[in-house]
Amino acid sequence: MPTNKQRREAARRHLERQLQRRQEQEATQKRRMLIATIAGSLILVVVVVVVVIAVTNDNGTKPAAAGSSSASSSPSAFVSSKTTGPCGYTSADLAQNPNLKNTGFPPDPKPAPTKTVVADFATNRGTIQVTFDGKAAPCNVQSIAYLIGKKFYNNTPCPRAVDSGIFVVQCGDPTGTGAGGPSYTVKDENLAAAKYTAGAVAMANGGPNTNGSQFFFITKDSSKGLQKNYTVIGHVTKGLDILQKVVNGGNDGSNQAGGGKPKLPLSFGTVKITSVVGGGPTPGTGPSPTVVTPSPTATPAQPTPTAS
């Protein structure tokens, strides 16, 4: 029979085994609870993400349907059109430049008229008379005559004068901003023969073949200051002294290209054609031209017409 000592030793070992099994059971239970907690947290995160996405979509962030307007939609490409006559007047983008005025196209008959056109510019300082040379610049003269017939120049300012390097008064922009003009552009003409002497009248532009309605009177020989980039359309035959006084009166220097608003303001009241000389149709009159529209193309910004 076991002694008391042996019985106590057996009881101790039995108790140790029970404690060990209990510790193992408790450790296993803790691991299971930890795994369950982690799994529950992951499920909660997934549920929250799904709810957020659903709410966001319901709040109107769905992609725009094809053909619908949205803030990210690209603007429509400007569709340029052009007359089919020898002058090929080309439309300008009115949406791109709000200073342009919708004038339609001048007539563009074949052949282009080459008549001499005389016009009187009644100004706040007296009458300035210009003889436009239809032989030297038929397309630009036809355009000027067309705009005069539409009273485009009536009650318009001459927003720029230059008295250094070149000597000019720039006119022909109804808005007075220097960025205005008609809804078309005109090609350059006869540049090789251009002479920028006192009394000459030339088209202002923003680059090759971008003539519009703006032009400048030259009050003193500016041949050294002007490259042959500006189409000469005629000459002042009366009132050059008026223009010289405006230039000599100075300007505010506000134009980055040179000069600025004249200190002696000059503005047109009425502009009228007083005579037309020569053969062929009268410039600026006749049936509307035939216009063709090529495929849509993106167009660069219209440059500001200027003489520099």
pLDDT at 54: 47
Residue 302 has φ and ψ, to the nearest 5°, of -70, 125
pLDDT digits (tens, 9 = 90+) for 15-73: 566 556 666 666 666 666 666 666 555 555 544 444 444 444 444 433 333 333 333 33
Compare 65 and 303 and report the one with higher pLDDT: 303
Mark whether 245 and 119 lie in a shared domain: yes
Inside any domain, residue 156: yes
Same domain? 13 vs 88? no
Whether 154 and 52 map to the same domain: the answer is no
Q: In this structure, are 164 and 226 located in the same domain?
A: yes
**Confidence (pLDDT) at 211:** 98
The answer to whether residue 154 scores a pLDDT higher than 90 is yes
Residue 210 confidence (pLDDT) above 80? yes
Name the band, by pLDDT with cuts 50, 70 and 90, for residue 5: low
Which position has the higher pLDDT, 217 or 18?
Answer: 217
State the CATH number of the domain containing residue 148: 2.40.100.10
Alpha-carbon gap, residue 157 to 46, rounded angstroms: 70
Q: State residue 72's pLDDT score.
A: 35
Residues 250 and 104 reside in one and the same domain: yes
User: What pLDDT does residue 302 have?
Assistant: 43
100 pLDDT more than 80: yes
79 pLDDT band, cuts 50/70/90, is confident
Q: What pLDDT score does 148 carry?
A: 97
Output the pLDDT for position 8. 62
**What percent of the chain clears pLDDT 90, i.e. is strictly above it?**
63
Domain count, the chain: 2
Mean pLDDT across 160-168:
97
Is position 76 within any domain?
Answer: no
In a domain, 75, yes or no: no
Looking at the structure, do residues 111 and 256 belong to the same domain, yes or no?
yes
pLDDT at 41: 58
Among candidate residues 274, 284, 277, 307, the one with its CA nearest the CA of residue 130: 274
Residue-level pLDDT at 53? 47
- Residues 54, 118, single domain; the answer is no
| Residue 230 sits in the same domain as residue 133 | yes
Are both 44 and 166 inside the same structural domain? no
Q: Which residues form the domain of 274?
A: 82-289
Query: Does some domain include residue 302?
Result: no
Of 13 and 195, the one with more pLDDT:
195
Counting residues of the chain whose pLDDT is more than 70, the rounded percentage is: 69
Task: Give the per-residue pLDDT at 282.
Answer: 72
Answer yes or no: is 305 within a domain: no
Mean residue pLDDT of the chain comes to 82
Q: Is residue 151 part of a domain?
A: yes
**65, part of any domain:** no
Distance CA 100, CA 89 (A): 15
- Together in a domain, 200 and 161: yes
Q: Would you place residue 292 in the very low, low, confident or very high pLDDT band (cuts 50, 70, 90)?
A: confident
In the prediction, which pLDDT does 284 show?
72
Q: Are residues 150 and 261 in the same domain?
A: yes
For residues 36 and 144, which has the higher predicted lDDT (pLDDT)?
144
Q: Tell me the mean pLDDT in the region 66-95.
A: 73
Flag whether 77 is in a domain.
Answer: no
pLDDT of residue 306: 67
The residue among 80 and 251 whose pLDDT is bigger is 251
Whether residue 100 is found in the same domain as residue 232: yes
